[in-house]
Structure formats: C-alpha cells, structure tokens
Amino acid sequence: AQSVTQLDSQVPVFEEAPVELRCNYSSSVSVYLFWYVQYPNQGLQLLLKYLSGSTLVKGINGFEAEFNKSQTSFHLRKPSVHISDTAEYFCAVSYMNSGYSTLTFGKGTMLLVSP
C-alpha cells in the first residue's frame, strides 16, 4: 500500500517570503508524484508532476519541487509567495505501471499568505 504524509496542516507566511511545503510518501513500488492546488470552492489544479528524469521539477505560478528518492520526499517550494497563493495544497502519488489512474492524496497543507 502507498501513503502520503504532509507534515504541516497549515503554513502561515508573509507575502514575498519563501515557502516550503513538505511531502513524504511510502510505497513498495515505484510511483509518480504530483502537487495539486485547490482554491476555495473550486476543484484541484495541477501545479507540477514528477514522472522521471531530472529530480527538480518546475511547475506553474513559480512553484518547483524536488524529488528525493532516498528520503522518499517531494517537497514543494516557491521563492517568493503572493497573497493569491493562499490555497490548500495537496501532494499525491500514483503507481507506475498500475494500469489505472488512481491518485492517493495527502491530507493537504493550507498555505496562508498575509501582507
């Protein structure tokens, strides 16, 4: 079985400060890794994903994430946040070669950006 742990349920930060949202996963097989964002009263939007290759992945809105296989982590970072980044962020995994599209999500991290 696979599981995803997002260590922080809430991360408060001031505008223009850097931020890191942490994600660790456990799985007995190889996985693909995703970060999604959810704004209030909306569905989820993909920020970025890691399938293979370079461990540093760049996504939309200035976000990036680094895959660390030895630490089974996929932390999300942004060097300078904006008020508009206030949202809930979800880390997710799916099995490689599973034959189906199923995401296992972490519990989410609420990013609260204040002026």
Partner 1 sequence: KAGVTQTPRYLIKTRGQQVTLSCSPISGHRSVSWYQQTPGQGLQFLFEYFSETQRNKGNFPGRFSGRQFSNSRSEMNVSTLELGDSALYLCASSLEASGGAGADTQYFGPGTRLTVL
Does 49 contact partner 1 by CB under 8 A? Answer: yes
Three-state DSSP class for 16? coil
Exactly one of 10, 55, 80, 98 binds partner 1 (CB under 8 A); that residue is 98
Tell me if 69 sits within 8 A of 32, measured CB to CB: no
Q: Which stretch binds partner 1 (CB under 8 A): 17-25, 35-43, 60-68, 77-85?
A: 35-43
Question: At its nearest, how many Å lie between partner 1 and the CB of residue 23?
Answer: 13
In the complex with partner 1, the residue whose CB is nearer, 7 or 15, is 7
Residue with the two structure tokens 């930060």: 13
Residue 36 found at the interface with partner 1 (CB under 8 A)? yes
What one-character-per-residue DSSP string does 26-46 give? E-SS-EEEEEEEE-TTS-EEE
Is the CB of 40 or the CB of 115 nearer to partner 1? Answer: 40
CA distances from 109 to 29, 30, 69, 86, 98 (A): 25, 24, 22, 11, 27
List of residues contacting partner 1 (CB under 8 A): 31-32, 34, 36, 41-46, 49, 51, 90, 92, 94-108
